[in-house]
Amino acid sequence: MRNSFYYAEGKHVDTDEIENDFMNCRDISYLSQVMPMIEEFTEEGDTILEPFCGMGTTVIAAGLLGRKSIGIEIEPSRVENLKEHIRKFEKDIKCPPEIICGDSLLVEFPKEVDAVITNVPYYGANALTPINDNNFYDIECYDTYLEMIEKVIIRCSKSLKRKGYMILYCENIRDLNGDMI
C-alpha cells in the first residue's frame, strides 16, 4: 500500500510529494479546516489572496468552492509540488488558482481582493533544507520573524477591498526534534 496522509476526502499528499518538499509537508493544513472560513467570509466568484501558499490548501479549497485565488510561494520546489498537487483536484476545481513564485515581502500584490486567508509560517519549525534567505521557517530571531510577518500583513491589508476580511491562522506542528510548537 502506498504511504500517504489524507487531508480531504479521497485526496491526499503522496509520499513522493512529502519527500520532495523541503518541510516534508509538516505544515500542511486540512481542506476541511479552511473551507468553513472561505464559505463564511467570501462569496462564489470572490478573490482570495494567500501570501504563504505552501502546498496550496487555501487556494485548492478556494477553487473547489468557486472562489478565485492568488497564491504566493517563495520556494520554487514547493511551487512545482503545488502545481502537481493541484492537478489531483483538476476535475473538481471550479476556479483554477493563480500561483506566483515569489517573496511576499517583494512581489506586487493584487489590488481589491475580497479576503486574505493564510496559515502563517511557523517560527522555529526549521526547514529541512534551508533554501532562501527570506524563508520564514529559518529565521533565528523571534523579533525579526514578527517584524517580517507584520510587513506581509500590512502589505496584504492594502490589497483588501474596503470590507474585506483577513484571516491568519496556525495549527500545531512538530519541529525537527519532535517538539510541538
Residue 83 has pLDDT above 70, yes or no: yes
Band (pLDDT 50/70/90 cuts) for residue 37 is very high
What pLDDT is attached to residue 12? 53
Residue 128 has pLDDT above 70, yes or no: no
What pLDDT is attached to residue 2? 31
What pLDDT is attached to residue 10? 45
Measured N-to-C along each axis, helices 76-87 and 57-64 cross at an angle, to the nearest 10 degrees, of 30
Average pLDDT of the segment spanning 111-132: 74
Average pLDDT of the segment spanning 85-103: 91
Average pLDDT of the segment spanning 88-100: 92
Whether residue 150 contacts residue 168, with contact meaning beta carbons closer than 8 Å, is answered with no
Band (pLDDT 50/70/90 cuts) for residue 90 is confident
Residue 125 has pLDDT above 80, yes or no: no
47-50 and 11-14 strand pairing: unpaired
Residue with the larger pLDDT of the pair 35 and 171? 35
What pLDDT is attached to residue 163? 94
Scored b (16 or more CB within 10 A) or e, 5-20 reads eebbeeebbbeebbee
